[in-house]
Structure 1
Amino acid sequence: MKQVYGVIGHPIGHSLSPIMHNVAFKEREIDATYLAFEVKENQLKQAIDGVRGLGVSGLNVTIPHKVNVMQYLDEIDPLAERIGAVNTIVHKENKLIGYNTDGEGYLQALLPILPKSLDNMRVLVLGAGGAAKGVAMAMTVHGVKEMCITNRTMEKADTLAHECSAITKVSTLPIALAQARLTEFDLIVNTTSIGMTPNVDQMPLSLEMIARGVVVSDLIYTPAKTRWLQDAEARGAIIQNGLGMFINQGALAFEKWTNQEAPRDIMRKKVVEKLGGLT
């Protein structure tokens, strides 16, 4: 019987996960299909019940469900528990087990492009949702020198900072103050959905005060180069979109589902092809 996997989120029409995972299943000769499921916030419990009832083998979880989905699972991996967010669900032996591959996937993409080691960098994280938790905790565990978190809701930023502060120096700033102090940071990471298709004209904050040579990283990969990254590049920044993280987190999820090595090159090639060759 063909196995079914998928991704849940809202909105979900932009997701390239189906083409990436379906080509991976084909490459590894696994009889499976991967679908995108539009699930609104008030439908989350029913969706997870459906995973159980229909025997769906595994899911990816994206905005806005990475935190709330945890309450409906049977087990949470210790790293995901620590992060406080799940992006991957494995359905095994009638149990739904939650994992988080975002942080590790992000670091695998980020570290090779940094001009200096992370333990010598001051980082500004924009956002405090599920993706931010994965990225912030991963950098914290990896030994980032200092981290500052800004978010429209400062209570969420303070909570995330507290969760990370046991390991490294973490502070919070309102967006206006963070923007005024941009020159203090070596790496600026947007973990929000601001600027994602179809809202491509939006930017999470202005980069007028940015220093040349800073690394500006956006977790968004549709469009491949957001308006925010275009502005950063024009100001002399080293830029990175979310494609590398997307491929890596997906590959790590694939490996948890199948116990097979993910064909990352094939997965990347297919996604880049869909994006029109833009990486």
Structure 2
Amino acid sequence: MKKLYAVIGNPIAHSMSPLMHNDLFQHYGIDAYYHAFAITKEQLADAIKGFRAMNISGFNVTVPHKVAIIPLLDDIDLLARSIGAVNTVVNENGRLVGYNTDGSGYVQGLLTELSNLKNKKVLVIGAGGAARAIYFTLAYEGVTHIDLTNRTIAKAESLVKECPYEVQSNVLELKEAEEQLEHYDIIIQTTSIGMSPHTECKVLSLHNLKESAFVSDIVYNPLETLLLRQAREKGARTQNGIQMFVHQGALAFEKWTNVMPDSNRMTTKVLKQLGGTKC
């Protein structure tokens, strides 16, 4: 009997997860199908009851359900619990168990370009759900110095206070971060600023960016945001959000099937759909 996997969110029509996962099921000869379900906040509890009734094999969770899903599950992985958000659910013998592969997927994507993270000084821009997953996971992986900057300082301060892992962190005003940018080896942009159609929106000035820095933006539409373009023009190495998207999906696929998929195949599939080549 064909297994069912899914992604739930609202909106969800734009999701490329069905394209990516259905291609993998076919490639690896797995009798399964992955479908996108548009689920509102009001429908979430009933949707999970329906998934249980169907004995769904697993599903991804995206905005706005990553936090609200937690009390509806049977168990939560330790890292997902500390992050306070779930993006992947596995049916483990009838029990729905939540995981968070966003941060781990981001780190794996980063390691395709950088061999060492632990001795790097990192600046994270933003304090939302993606920033939280990335910040906590980097700290969990042993990165020792991670500063945060955000328009709302209190939100960034909350992340620092709530992080359960040992890490040295300062919270900076955006202007402060701009002035100190030369001190950072890795700059990570985690907000939606610069995403299509608002592609000319500016996060912060890169005037003090050092040439040896690595600049990462989790946005992948457009493939090269204004921030990445300006960083590239200053000689810095850059990476868009494709690798995070691909690797978080790969980790979810492995949890569901015990098969670690070919991330290069996944990247090619997504880039072809987006009509570009830049990562």
1:275 aligns with 2:271: no
Give 1:8's aligned residue: 8
Equivalent position of 1:212 in the other structure: 211
1:68 and 1:27 map into 2 onto residues whose CA distance is 33
Tell me the CA shift for residue 256 of structure 1. Answer: 0.7
Distance 1:87 1:202, change over 3 A: same
1:128-277 correspondence to structure 2 within 5 Å:
128-164=127-163, 166-277=165-276
Instruction: Provide the rounded CA distance (Å) in 2 between the counterparts of 1:40 and 1:156.
Output: 26
1:58 is the counterpart of 2:58: yes
How far apart are 1:192 and its partner, in Å? Answer: 1.8
Number of positions where the alignment pairs a residue of Structure 1 with one of Structure 2 = 278
Residue-by-residue CA offset, 1:117-158 (whole Å, 9 max, x unaligned): 323221111122222222112211222231111233333211
Amino acid across the alignment from 2:171: T
Tell me, yes or no, if the aligned pair for 1:164 and 1:170 is still in contact at 8 Å. Answer: no
- The one-letter code of the counterpart of 1:192 is T
Q: Root-mean-square deviation (CA), in Å?
A: 2.2
Q: Which structure 2 residue ranges, 5 or more long, are not aligned?
A: none
Query: How far is the alpha carbon of 1:44 from its aligned partner?
Result: 3.6
Cα distance in 1, alignment partners of residues 10 and 179 from structure 2:
32
CA displacement at 1:46 relative to structure 2: 3.9
CA distance in 1 between counterparts of 2:209 and 2:164 reads 26
Instruction: Show the counterpart of 1:102.
Output: 102
Measure how far apart 1:55 and its partner are.
3.4
Conservation of the 8 A alpha-carbon contact between 1:23 and 1:266: no
TM-score of the superposed pair, with normalisation by structure 1: 0.89
Find the residue that maps to 2:188 and give its secondary structure: strand
What letter corresponds to residue 163 of structure 1 in structure 2?
A: E
- Counterpart contact for 1:14–1:222, Cα < 8 Å: no
SS in 2 for 1:274: helix
Matched, 1:80 2:73: no
Matches of 1:178 and 1:123, distance apart in 2: 11
How far apart, in 2, do the equivalents of 1:64 and 1:178 lie?
Answer: 29
* SS of residue paired to 1:119: coil
Deviation by residue 1:183-238 (Cα, 9 ceiling, x = unmatched): 22221111222222333333333323322221110112222212221122112221
* Counterpart in the other structure of 1:67: 67
SS at match of 2:207: coil
**Residue 108 of structure 1: SS of its match in structure 2?**
helix
Share of identical aligned residues, percent? 47
Structure 1 position 27, deviation (Å): 0.8
Aligned to 2:124: 125
The residue number in structure 1 matching 2:38 is 38
| Uncovered stretches (5+) of structure 1, i.e. residues with no partner | none
Secondary structure in 2 matching 1:30: coil
Residue 79 (structure 1) shift: 1.8
